[in-house]
A and B are shown apart, each in its own frame.
Chain A
Amino acid sequence: MAYSHKHEVLNKANPLTDLTAPALTVLLAPLLGRVVKSLSRKHPAIFERLGPHTKTGYIIDPTNLPFALFLQPDPERPVLRAVARRALPAHEALIRGSFDTLFELIDADADGDAVFFSRDLIIEGNTEAVVSLRNALDDVDGSIAADTADLFGPPGRLALGFLRSRADARSQRSST
């Protein structure tokens, strides 16, 4: 899949996104807060690998969702919240790709360098912060996606299975 101009298009005015994003960011706040706190407790070694970047603000932008995410991996007070794409908070680094690409990365099913080479992943801002985050998350046994799914019990695992099936189907299509 080529980068092409699709990411640009998504950053332009989208009435539906503009209307739904504020509501979604509020609705998702407790869920995302629970996720980041749980992951922080379960994987404290991540913070050591982040070194000086525990105070860094990251934007993670799944281009085909109506909102982006703001992450500050502070071990004392980790932050993960949905933010409107048209009003991003101050940040030092940005990671942008389709939801599928970002899902495969946190499910340990895709290689960060490979999706960068293929232009499916866009990096902006502080490259060292992005590399540190990538390496820190990659040192987690299993996958961040699976840990997140487990938090929500059977519905979470069902959703994970569905997303993994989609990823497998994409992988088979791209290899044929």
Chain B
Amino acid sequence: MTLAELVCPAGTPAALRTAVDAGADTVYCGFRNATNARNFPGLNFSTDELATAVAYAHAKGSKVLLALNTYPPAGQVDLWREAADTGARIGVDAFIVADMGVARYIATKYPEIRLHLSVQAAASSPEAIRYYCESFGVKRVVLPRILTIPEIRRIAQEIPCEIETFIFGNHGLMVEGRCSLTNYVTGLSTNMDGVCSPAADVEYRREGDGAVSSCLSGYVIDRFGPDEMAGYPTICKGRYQAPHRPEGYYAFEEPVSLNLARLLPELIDAGVHAFKIEGRQRSKSYVRNVVSAFRNAVDDIRAGREANIAGLLQLTEGGRETQGAFETKKWR
């Protein structure tokens, strides 16, 4: 078992090469369609691009995981099956899946290719994880960002597969794979169309005092004052007025990024096999900086040295970072 495999995001072929060159053990990416949960305009890979990217990664000793981590609408499974067939033909090292039907198709047709269970499956108990392992031969679970390190340690002792945890990036805490907030406003599903807050539905309105309102399908979901840091235009990170909070407050989540740099040794000790960096929608610059920083940190830990990660705050949402539930469930 590899110690602390670094799993890094790639939204474009250039980002994938950047991640590999920066020291990624593994890169995850997706096709330009609804089969993955970062279905944003201008992002992702064509079939030819993925084939070239896989060859590049393999030549440099890195693995490529293909995210097929959305849920096909009933009766519309062909797109996901074709994506799995293409990924298998190209030679990806594993599929990241959430839907049981997609998992079953791959497990049956391509039993030699590893299956990883996406965070979108929201499997957070030993019973749920064991079900996926026993039914579909899942080799790794990506845990939701709602567990403390002691809880992860207990789960690791009770499941027959590897554990991957997020260590940096978006701090999404809704029940992943079940969130329908975007659907209510835009009519598009995060979980089936692969896009939360589609860019076509987002508008930023500049106001006379220098403030900016972020709007989704015409609804104002936050307003940033002239000197206030901004966040993503998602409903879960919107600021709302309520009778008990007329000044407006973050009712669900706050614009803040996860950063577990200081907890890496504890996570390894708890039995975490792989560390995931979020951000397929981010730039090459983000990929280069974050992957390099965590590559050095993991190498330091492997060598018995104390890891020192600084300088990532400027890349965080809202200019703030948190250890979230990994440190304590009282983080808010």
A interface list, Cβ under 8 A from B:
2-5, 7-8, 48-51, 53, 108-114, 116-119, 122-124, 126-128, 130-136, 138-141, 174-175
Contacts and interface: CB of A to CB of B under 8 A. Distances in A.
Contacts of B202: 127-128
B206 A2 contact: no
Nearest to A48: B46
Contacts, number: 117
Contact of A135 (B11, B227, B228, B255): B11
Nearest to B16: A139
A2 to B, nearest CB: 4
A128 B198 contact: yes
B314 A118 contact: yes
Interface of B: 11-15, 17, 40-43, 46, 198-200, 202-204, 206, 210, 212, 224, 226-232, 255, 281-286, 289, 311, 314-319
Given A117-B319, A127-B199, A131-B41, A175 B311 contact: yes
A52 B154 CA distance: 50
A117 B231 contact: yes
Contacts of A139: 12-15, 42
B226 A174 contact: no
Contact of A128 (B199, B212, B231): B199
Contacts of A133: 42
A117 B317 contact: yes
Given A113-B282, A117-B319, A135-B40, A140 B14 contact: yes
B286 to A, nearest CB: 4
Contacts of B286: 111, 113-114
Given A49-B42, A140-B14, A118 B319 contact: yes
Given A4-B226, A119-B229, A128-B200, A138 B12 contact: yes
